[in-house]
Structure formats: C-alpha cells, structure tokens
C-alpha cells in the first residue's frame, strides 16, 4: 500500500495503539496535520503552547502506562517542547514527539523556522531520529515506540522534514525491531538474587525504598506481597508515592529533604535498604556519606547505569523490578519484626507530620480537605515547590499511580498540562491540580485547551503571592532577604478563569474550603479555586542540602510543643 509520509505516521500511530495526540500545528508540520481528518481514530487535542503538549503527553503516559504522543512544528515549535521532553526523560515517562522540520533541501541553510532539533534534544531524551525519506518512516516509528516504552522508558523524538510528509512510499509496518545495541534485561542475575536473599535473612532493621520503577513495571501486587511477607517498612520516593497505598500500615511515607522525619530516621537507623526501581536522587540522600550510614544496600534497577552512580550498593541487581521481586519472593522467609516496627511507631509518635490547626487558612488545610472530599481517590497533579511537598506529604492516596509530579527536572508549570493529559487518559477519574501561583502562571494558557476540549480538571491554586519555596530558602539561608520572590501584581485568578470561560471560586477563610472543594467537584467542567492561603507558611521537615538526618529541621511549632 502506497501512502504519503503524513498518512504513514497516522497509520503507524494507530498500529501502536495511540488514540490521542497533543499538539499545535505550524508551517513545517502542516502536511501531517492535514491528513488527520482521514484518521478518525486519532483524537487531536489542540494546546496553546508546545510545552503544554509535551507535559500533557507526559501526564497521559504516566497514568495510562501507554506512550504519550505530541506534535510540534519546526524551529520554535520543537524548541518549546524541550522542557517537557527533559522532564519525561528524568522521570522515565514513555513519550514519542513528532516534529516537523524544514524541507530536506533547506536543512543547514538557516531557513525560516529551522532549528537543529535532533541536536538540541539529544542530551535530554532517550533517543531521536532525523528522517531522510518516507521509505524510512515505518521502521523509524516502530523503533521510536519500542524504545519509548521498553527498558527504562523515556521520550523519543522523530524529526520529519516537510517534504517527507508529502513523499509517497510503500507502507509495510514492521512487526519487529532490530536493535542489537539495546537489550533490556528483565531477569535479575540469580547469584545476585541469592546474595540479596542472604542479606535480607540476616537483616534486623530493613527498610524498603520503593520508587517509580514499581509503577512502570506494574509491580504493585508484588511489592505489597513482598513487603507484607518480609514485614518491611516501606518508604516511597516522590515518584514512588503511587506504588504503595498511603494508608497501608507498613507505609512510612516520603524520604528525603522534605520527607517525614520518621522515614528519614528509619533509614538512618536501618541495617539494610532494599531499593527498588529508584535512583538515589540527591533530594533523597542529601549528603551521601551521611546517608544510611549503617546499612547494606540491595539496589534493583532496570538501568545498569543507576547502580553505583550515586550510592554504592552492596548487591546490585539489574532487571525489571517485577521479575526480580518474583525471583526474590520464594527466597524470603516470613519475618517477625515487631521490635523494629515498634521502634518505627515510636519514631512516628515522636516526629509526626505537623501543621498548625487554627483559624488561619493554611495551604495544608486545602490539601487535607481535597484528600477527604475525594476520599483519597483522585489523581493529583502538582507543580514544583512547597505545594508539591505538602501534597506529597498529606494527600492520602488510596488508589495506586495517582500522583503526577515533575520529580527529577522539577519543572514549574507542569501542574496544569499534566493534569489535562491525565484527565484525557483516564476520563472517569477525578483529577485535581494542586498548583502554586508561580508555576500556574507559566502554563496557564492551557485553560483555553481545557475549556475547548472539555477537560474537567479541578485546579486548586495554593496562592501565597510568592515563589514560596525560594522565599523559604531566603528565610533560612539569606536572613529573610526576599529578592525577586514576592508577586505584587498577581491577576484576579477568579476573573481570569471566568475570562477563559471556566468556573472560578475564591476562598479566603478556612471554613470556606470544604464547601468550595465540594462545589468544584459538583461542577461539570473545569474549575479554578483561588485559595488565598497564609503567605508565610513554610514546609517542614527540612534537611538542608549537603547535610544529613542529624541536621533535619522540624517545624519550630512542633519543637515548641514538644518542649511544653
């Protein structure tokens, strides 16, 4: 069958099970867009900025486990994707981006809207292709999707010159790929598994650290069974939050810089860390030499380069965490760890997550209310900053894989488009965006997309009229010297929402929080709730960078209470 390049791409997307594309057209990618009406199985969601397309594809990919797809035109269209692509790479999200490029004869001439997109994106994505003829397209697209979704998933970009979209060639979609340099390893080495089981048998104070790999490998059941069998307390990294239910008795919450004090103390006191599908990010370890000083470490990851990169494992295991857990499970004895678990309970009592419960509207009140009103069953998408950490600490996730956040890259502006992508991917779920007023204004143009494409995301704007996290660091490290962190001219966000044609609600008092959240959920469409929260609230606990658990700062109000 002869197809032109544009038709080939659409047909390949259908073959790969794609039903949704986020994008915005331009000159170079037009010939592809003009083919879309011939393929009614593909829903195109017109975003207002390419960054929104990439981040929506990211949110879609995270919640569905399918490959998120975005389109952008050449030059500025493609460069606008870069932040979204880099974030998907850091957080191992399956994504394919298709970008238009200037026609082949103009490549290298600094033509209108030309940019070296494969060069620009190369260091921040898993792989990319510059297509040089329509003939190549089927193989390239097959490989792009295979690379995006297998092994450690990540974004793959396919750059297609304008004239290749209209060139005709035979379309014969390949069944297999031939990538000898790319062999993802599934099973763990059996020797290493035995050594890991030995360490586990000897351990008195084990802690299991569950990361995003559990979610990617769909190993929720295995994780729970393994944790229950071995009676391991489980700490979930920021991206691992959806890997293990928040209300499980063995869940000890988030580790790291703003993690729960008891999780950090448990790691500090432990004699064995079982790290599953996580990468010992510096926000988890703080100063590596002070991290888990008495622990041996079993580190399981599908990416061999993560083993030994930041922290030295005692037993490194390369493999898919689901396979490795199944290999380990029969070798691990049922354990009685009452002593160790009661020690952790004691830590929990001594160092609880604390926030002031008074008449003032505080950011934490909003998150607690959303958690209660949704019964912990919503998908929560956040931006980056204080509100992100409060959401991670306080929302009680009763559903798996329901926390969408920019972890590795820490890209503000992620909240709105990623929520949009998640809602499109799972239309039956309630999706809340927990946004800060800083990050929200980086991608707020996507409100128009939500209204136009009827995407009923609920936005909780935690509005403290500042870049709260940076302001907090100025409090701590720069003697309250607020350089460029206070927003003195924020718009009226309720009017803004209304201008876009969506519902806007303002909340200034604590007793209004509950009704506003309920109203937002009853409204059949996107809603923005502007919560005017206490502006000076800081996030605790806090382990200052370059230090360890010994230097952890707990909420001064909690410390004062303890003294009393």
Partner 1 sequence: MTQNNGKMQQHTVVALVYDRPGVLNRVVSMVRRRAFNIGSLAVGHSETPGLSRMTFVVEGDDKVLEQVTKQLRKLVDVVRVSDLKGVNAVYRELSLVRVSANATTRSEIIQIVDIFRANIVDVGHDSLIIEVTGDEEKLESLVTLLSPFGVLEIMRSGRLAMVRGIQGDSGANGNSSDAEGTLTDDTQWVREDGDEAKATPLLPPG
Q: Does 204 bind partner 1 (CB under 8 A)?
A: no
Give the chain's length: 564
Integer angstrom CA distances of residue 296 from 231, 293, 311, 314, 389: 18, 9, 11, 6, 28
Q: Is 228 a catalytic residue?
A: no
Q: Which of 309, 509, 561, 562 binds partner 1 (CB under 8 A)?
A: 309
Nearest distance in Å: CB 183, partner 1:
5
Of 40, 180, 330, 550, which lies in the binding site for partner 1, with binding defined by CB under 8 A? 180
Is residue 307 at the binding interface for partner 1, with CB under 8 A as the rule? Answer: yes
Among candidate residues 120, 121, 67, 75, the one with its CA nearest the CA of residue 100 = 75
Strands 315-318, 296-301: pairing is: parallel
Integer angstrom CA distances of residue 384 from 187, 242, 406, 548: 35, 17, 7, 23
CB of 272 to partner 1, least distance (A): 11
* Span interacting with partner 1, options 223-231, 232-240, 300-308, 437-445, rule CB under 8 A: 300-308
Q: Is 231 a catalytic residue?
A: no
Choice between 311 and 325, CB closer to partner 1: 311
Per CB under 8 A, the segment of 99-107, 285-293, 343-351, 399-407 that binds partner 1 is: 285-293
CA 261 to CA 559: how far, in whole Å? 13
Instruction: Give the nearest distance from C-beta 333 to partner 1 in angstroms.
Output: 20
Residue 270 CB, shortest distance to partner 1, in Å, is 12
Catalytic residue among 34, 112, 170, 498: 112
Q: Are strands 503-507 and 527-532 parallel, antiparallel or unpaired?
A: parallel
Exposure class string for 158-195: b at 16+ Cβ within 10 A, else e: bbbbbbbbbbebebebeeeeeeeeeeeeeebbeebbeb
105 tagged catalytic:
no
Q: Is 296 in the site for partner 1 (CB under 8 A)?
A: yes
Could you say which of 469, 472, 531, 537 is catalytic? 469
State yes or no: is 469 an active-site residue.
Answer: yes
Q: Which is nearer to partner 1, 192 or 539 (CB)?
A: 192
CB nearer to partner 1: pick between 40 and 180: 180
* Tokens encoding 142: 């097959």
For residues 129-168, which are near partner 1 according to CB under 8 A? 130, 147
Report the C-alpha gap between 439 and 234 in whole angstroms.
Answer: 31
What is the size of the binding site for partner 1 (CB under 8 A)?
A: 44
- Under DSSP, the state recorded for 22 is E
Smallest distance, partner 1 to C-beta of residue 448, A: 33
Nearest alpha carbon to residue 558 among 354, 371, 416: 354
Question: To 5 degrees, how large is the angle CA 312–CA 181–CA 63?
Answer: 70
Q: Taking CB under 8 A as the rule, does residue 123 contact partner 1?
A: yes
- Exactly one of 118, 374, 443, 453 binds partner 1 (CB under 8 A); that residue is 118
User: Min. distance of Cβ 127 from partner 1 in angstroms?
Assistant: 5
**Which residues, in sequence order, are bridge partners of residue 130?**
159
Q: Which of 262, 4, 233 is nearest to 133 (CA)?
A: 4
Considering the rule CB under 8 A, would residue 292 count as an interface residue with partner 1? yes
Q: Which stretch binds partner 1 (CB under 8 A): 122-130, 230-238, 424-432, 526-534?
A: 122-130
Stretch that binds partner 1, among 18-26, 312-320, 392-400, 483-491 (CB under 8 A): 312-320
Residue 316 engages partner 1 in binding (rule: CB under 8 A): yes
Distance (Å, whole) CA 218 – CA 251:
18
Residues 240 and 280: their CA atoms lie apart, in Å, by: 12
Which of 37, 41, 119, 427 binds partner 1 (CB under 8 A)? It is 119
Only segment of 2-10, 90-98, 123-131, 259-267 that touches partner 1 (CB under 8 A): 123-131
Which one of 37, 108, 293, 515 is in contact with partner 1 (CB under 8 A)?
A: 293
536: Cα within 13 Å, side-chain hemisphere: 5
What is the spatial distance between Cα 21 and Cα 449, in angstroms, rounded to a whole number? 13
Which of 93, 272, 315, 507 is close enough to bind partner 1 by CB under 8 A? 315
C-alpha dihedral (188, 192, 196, 202), degrees to nearest 10: 160
Q: Shortest distance, CB of residue 192 to partner 1, whole angstroms?
A: 6
17 scored as a contact of partner 1 (CB under 8 A): no
Which of these segments, 58-66, 88-96, 287-295, 330-338, binds partner 1 (CB under 8 A)?
287-295
Residue 560 found at the interface with partner 1 (CB under 8 A):
no
Indicate whether 550 belongs to the interface with partner 1 (CB under 8 A): no
Q: In this chain, which of 89, 164, 192, 275 binds partner 1, going by CB under 8 A?
A: 192
Nearer to partner 1, 127 or 348 (CB): 127
Residues 190, 29 contacting (CB under 8 angstroms): no
* DSSP code of residue 488: S
Name which of residues 243 to 282 contact partner 1 (CB under 8 A).
282
The residue from 50, 167, 222, 446 that is catalytic is 50
- Is 112 annotated in the active site? yes
Which positions ≥6 away from 119 have C-beta within 8 Å?
none
Handedness of CA 410, 412, 416, 420 (dihedral sign): negative
DSSP H/E element including 215: helix 212-216
Compute φ and ψ for 367, nearest 5 degrees: -65, -40
CA angle 144, 149, 155 (to 5 degrees): 60
Question: Facing residues of 101 across strands?
Answer: 161
CA 258 to chain centre: 17
Q: In this chain, which stretch among 284-292, 327-335, 358-366, 551-559 interacts with partner 1, using CB under 8 A?
A: 284-292
Catalytic residues: 50, 112-113, 162, 469
In the complex, the residues that contact partner 1 under the rule CB under 8 A are 118-119, 122-123, 126-127, 130, 147, 179-185, 188-189, 192, 282, 287-289, 291-293, 296-297, 303-305, 307-318, 545-546
């Amino acid at each position: 069958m002869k197809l032109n390049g544009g038709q080939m791409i659409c047909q390949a997307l259908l073959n790969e099970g794609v039903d949704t594309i986020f994008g915005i057209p331009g000159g170079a990618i037009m010939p592809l867009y003009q083919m879309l009406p011939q393929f009614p199985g593909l829903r195109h969601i017109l975003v207002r900025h390419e960054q929104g397309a990439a981040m929506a594809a990211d949110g879609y990919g995270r919640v569905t486990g399918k490959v998120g797809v975005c389109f952008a035109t050449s030059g500025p269209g493609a460069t606008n994707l870069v932040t979204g692509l880099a974030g998907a790479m850091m957080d191992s999200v399956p994504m394919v981006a298709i970008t238009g490029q200037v026609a082949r004869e103009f490549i290298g001439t600094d033509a209108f809207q030309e940019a070296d997109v494969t060069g620009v994106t190369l260091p921040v994505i898993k792989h990319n292709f510059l297509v040089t003829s329509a003939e190549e397209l089927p193989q390239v697209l097959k490989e792009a999707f295979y690379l995006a979704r297998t092994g450690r998933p990540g974004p793959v970009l396919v750059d297609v010159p304008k004239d290749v979209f209209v060139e005709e060639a035979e379309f014969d979609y390949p069944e297999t790929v031939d990538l000898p340099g790319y062999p993802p390893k599934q099973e763990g080495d059996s020797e290493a598994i035995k050594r890991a089981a030995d360490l586990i048998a000897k351990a008195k104070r084990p802690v299991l650290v569950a990361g995003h790999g559990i979610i990617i490998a769909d190993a929720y059941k295995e994780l729970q069974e393994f944790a229950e069998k071995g009676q391991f307390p489980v700490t979930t990294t920021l991206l691992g939050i959806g890997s293990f239910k928040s209300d499980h008795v063995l869940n000890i919450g988030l580790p790291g810089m703003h993690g729960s004090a008891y999780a950090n103390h448990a790691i500090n006191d432990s004699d064995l860390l079982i790290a599953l599908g996580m990468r010992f990010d510096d926000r988890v370890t703080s100063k590596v030499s002070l991290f888990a000083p008495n622990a041996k470490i079993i580190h399981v990851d599908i990416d061999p380069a993560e083993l030994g990169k930041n922290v030295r494992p005692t037993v490194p295991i390369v493999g898919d965490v689901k396979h490795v857990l199944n290999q380990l499970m029969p070798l691990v004895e049922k354990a009685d760890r009452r002593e160790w678990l009661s020690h952790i309970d004691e830590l929990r009592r001594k160092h609880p997550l604390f926030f002031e419960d008074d008449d003032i509207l505080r950011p934490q009140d909003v998150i607690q209310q959303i958690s209660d009103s949704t019964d912990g069953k919503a998908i929560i998408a956040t931006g980056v900053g204080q509100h992100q950490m409060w959401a991670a600490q306080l929302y009680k996730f009763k559903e798996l894989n329901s926390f969408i956040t920019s972890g590795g890259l820490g890209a503000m502006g992620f909240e709105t488009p990623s929520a949009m992508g998640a809602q499109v991917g799972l239309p039956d779920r309630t999706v809340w965006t927990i946004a800060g007023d800083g990050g929200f204004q980086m991608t707020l143009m996507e409100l128009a997309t939500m209204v136009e494409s009827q995407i009923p995301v609920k936005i909780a704007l935690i509005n403290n009229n500042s870049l709260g996290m940076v302001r907090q660091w100025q409090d701590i490290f720069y003697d309250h010297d607020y350089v460029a962190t206070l927003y003195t001219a924020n718009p009226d966000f309720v009017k803004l929402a209304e201008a876009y044609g969506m519902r806007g609600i303002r909340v200034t008092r604590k007793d209004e929080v509950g009704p506003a959240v309920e109203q937002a959920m009853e409204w059949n469409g996107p809603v923005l709730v502007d919560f005017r929260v206490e502006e000076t609230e800081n996030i605790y606990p806090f382990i200052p960078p370059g230090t360890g658990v010994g230097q952890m700062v707990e909420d001064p109000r909690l410390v004062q209470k303890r003294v009393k």
